[in-house]
Each structure stands twice: as C-alpha cells, then as structure tokens.
Amino acid sequence: MQIDAQLAATVAAVIDEGSFDAAARRLHVTPSAISQRIKALEQRLGRVVLVRSKPVRATEAGEALVRLARQIALLEHDTVTAFGLRPDGGEAPRIRIPLAVNADSMATWFLPPIARLAEEHDVDFDLHRDDQNYTARLLESGEVMAAVTSEAKPVGGCLVTGLGVLEYRPMATRAYAERWLPDGATPEALARAPFVDFDRRDTLQHDWLRARGVDPWAVPRHYVPASYDFARAVELGLGWGLIPEPQASPASADLVDLGGEPTRVALYWQQWNLRSPLLDAIGAEIAAEARRRLAPLR
C-alpha cells in the first residue's frame, strides 16, 4: 500500500494550522477539498487520522502521517537544493522547519542562531515553546523535527547532542529581601515569602524550596508565564524567582542573590535521524551557540 504524499502533507497542514479552514488557506484550496482529502485518506487507511476538535488534533495514525509528510518535505528540499534547482520565479526553495524549545533558552540564547540560519538557508522556522521536560514529546508525535530538551536518552528515531547547562540563581530585589527574608533565606522565612512561578508545569522553584525543607504548595506564588515577564516580575519585587544566568544581572535591577549553589538544568539537542544536510546544519549552529552561551556539561 502506498500513501499519497499530498494527502500526508494535507494532514500535516491541518495540524500546523489547527483547522481545516486555515489549512485550506495555506494550501490555496477550499476547505471542502481539505475535508475530501482527509476523508479519502481515512477510508483508505481504515482508521481516523484527525480528531475534529478546536484545534484539530492528530490520532496516533495521524501522527505517523505528520512525521512522514515532514520527512518527505525535508528530503525533497535537500534534493532540490543539491541539484541547484529553484521553483518558478527563481527564488530559493523554502521549507518550514518546526522546532521545540524551552522558554528560557528562547529568551537567552536560542534566537540568534535561528536568525542566522533563516537568512543563510531560506528557512521558515515554526518554534514551539514548552518546558524542557516536555519538548521531547513533540518529537515523538512528529509535531517537530528537533528539540531542545532535558532528556539525554534519545527519543525513538532521533540523534542526541549535548548542548550544555543553563544555570539559574535565586534572585530578589533588595527591598523584597529586606522585607521577607531579613535573616536570609531560612526555611521559616521562605515558607511565608511569595515567589514567582512560571506556569503549572514548571518545577524549578518547587524543587528549590523542597531542597530547603519547604512545602512549595503552602507558599504564596504569582504565575507569570512568559520568560521576559517572569524576570521583570522579580525585578519589580513581586516575589523571588530562579533567574537564568544570562538574565541574572544584580547590578542592572538592584537584585540580590539569595545564596546557595545555582540550579543546573542540562540541555540536549534531539533531532530526527535523517541524512539531511539542512537539519544537520541547523543542529550544528544550535550546538555551537550553546557552547558559547551555556555552562559545559559535567
């Protein structure tokens, strides 16, 4: 049995865009044509590939089709580039590359190499932001081709490269520390002092408190789910928080370090195990930037 590459690409477009209507606009067809393609594919496979929710989600079969579509598009791009061919109009061939990255990496070191790569290779990047403990799941589903992750064990069908360690320091404004932690970051003071939490999937502050004998769920907290705004909230005295080393600049915001060893988060680059010059070039540029900006893995 052969799977039509156009039908697989249609499934990927629906997942990328979140709806049949949006996928139709991207592919320059009608929503009815998208629906007919998906129906024909599901009838041929004998199984449902998309859950018609908002946004549309892929089933396990749909995830396999998304992976197939992305691999075909990547290998086709590499082949066209190798032959020096160009589509009508003479413009360089373009491809969309979906990548997953944690918020702190995106805010501190990840975007400069992405900008260089986009200019050099005529790539359209589709960045998916998630906690480093969850980005590998996006690789498994086929939603992304590569990811910055905290998982050193390779996801099935992927290659792993160590990037380095992103270090975090517990920071607060001087005025906040004087009010809430006058005798230092003691367990008794930390149990009452409000902190800034990134979101409900982030455990860094929680782990830091547990290591000091404090139940994190009993402590007041403010949720600020954006990396820059998280650091800004700490600078404004909303609470204490673990700030990535590149953002931890006490002199610029009257911040003080609450003490102790920095929290270290090891980061890895996982990418699909394909012989793709483009994907390899992306991985090499990301790894080179990480070596310059992150602490080395031990």
In the chain, how many domains are there? 1
Cβ burial of 197 (10 Å; 0-12, 13-18, 19+) is buried
Residue 20 lies in a domain: no
Residues spanned by the domain of 225: 166-264
Q: What is the pLDDT of residue 92?
A: 53
Task: Report pLDDT digits (tens) over 120-145.
Answer: 888 999 999 988 888 888 888 888 99
Give me the helices (H) in the chain, please: 5-17, 20-27, 31-45, 60-83, 103-105, 111-121, 135-141, 174-180, 187-190, 204-210, 227-235, 250-253, 277-293
Q: What is the pLDDT of residue 254?
A: 83
Q: Cis link prior to 55 (omega < 30° from 0)?
A: yes
C-alpha closest to that of 231 among 279, 196, 271: 196
Residue 283 lies in a domain: no
The domain that contains 219 carries what CATH number?
A: 3.40.190.10
Q: What is the pLDDT of residue 122?
A: 80
Q: What is the pLDDT of residue 250?
A: 54
SS3 124: strand
Residue 243 lies in a domain: yes
Low-confidence residues in the chain, pLDDT < 70: 1, 85-93, 249-253
Residue 99 lies in a domain: no
Residue 50 lies in a domain: no
Residue 187 lies in a domain: yes
Residue environment code for 77-96, b if the CB has 16+ CB neighbours within 10 A, otherwise e: bbeebeeeeeeeeeeebebb
Residue 142 lies in a domain: no
Q: What is the pLDDT of residue 26?
A: 93
Distance CA 275, CA 32 (A): 36
Residue 105 lies in a domain: no
